[in-house]
Amino acid sequence: MRARVLVLIGLVACGGATTSEIDQKTSTTSGKGPATANPAPTTAAPSGMPIVDRVDFAGTGGIVYWTEGDAPNGRVRAARLDGTGIVTIADAQFPTGVAVDVALSKVYWADNVNDTISRANLDGSAAEVLYTATDKLANPNGIAVDHAAGKMFWTESNVIKVAGLDGKSPTTIYTGKFPTGVSGVAGELAFTDNETDSMSLGNYTGAPPTEYTLSTDAFSNPSAVAIDTQLFWAQSGGIFKMANDGSARVQIATAAFPGGVAIDSTSHRVYFTDNDTDTVAYVNADGSGRTVIYTASDRFANPRGVAIRP
């Protein structure tokens, strides 16, 4: 197992306490307790924020979700797409990947320490644990949902899992060395692998995937992927994109230790987290217009997964 992995002090996305690196994937598995539903979010606005300034979850405006915080103080946060109205919607041990089902008005997240997949309403209410790994070293990481297909995908250990949107009947659809991010759209399934520094593009039937080597740098550590009209991914140093056939590769943003990447399907902006700067930012698909929408006041926030409700 390679020295650096995308498990932030127990997290599976990138970074660490001060060097954004740890020595092994399972270094924080001690102290795990039984998985329970995450508590409902607090009603008090963060940092004295008036309630009127918070996200309108029932409205039509876009919302960005991200995960941050080390165990036992992990959290799932939400804000408007410009970073205003920030609120914590769920507490967790060590949340990693996050995904949104727009049609069901649900947000899903993986927890690396509890080895669980959970979901809640967009505002964090009615939280429930859908899946608990039997292997306490499973360390779930990336997660994706496809409402039209009725499927949920996530990475754990050395496999990519698939289940219904309720988490039932989980099965392994692909295996890898150390899979991290996953994205599924219209039958196409992409996943990154930290061990092989690669991205694989397969489908929902589990047909043999096409593997693309992303870097000759053994420490590029790809952490996340998003399918849009092109393939976008995060790896040490920045955010990249390429055509679905692996051609036309280009870097569109710099980021020391990016953890997550997500596409706003309306604006086609590319949102990403950076564990090194404790920020959430976006760029246009061509790399222009870089804007930081959130900077954590806690230098150990370590933002990881990110998802968009358009």
Q: Which domain holds residue 151?
A: 8-24+56-309
Q: pTM, whole model, 2 decimals?
A: 0.84
- Quick one: DSSP state of residue 200? E
CB neighbours of residue 167 within 10 Å: 20
Q: Is residue 205 part of a domain?
A: yes
- The mean-pLDDT minimum among 27-31, 87-91, 122-126, 160-164 falls in 27-31
Q: Is residue 127 part of a domain?
A: yes
Max Cα distance, the chain (Å): 52
List, in order, residues 6 or more apart from 49 with CB less than 8 Å away: 85, 86, 87
| Domain count of the fold of the chain | 1
Residue 29 has pLDDT above 60, yes or no: no
CB neighbours of residue 261 within 10 Å: 28
Per-residue pLDDT at 299: 85
Q: Is residue 118 part of a domain?
A: yes
Residue 143 has pLDDT above 80, yes or no: yes
Residue 169 has pLDDT above 70, yes or no: yes
Contact 86, 78 (CB under 8 A): yes
State the CATH number of the domain containing residue 301: 2.120.10.30
Contact 129, 117 (CB under 8 A): yes
Contact 75, 69 (CB under 8 A): yes
Per-residue pLDDT at 83: 96
Distance CA 143, CA 162 (A): 10
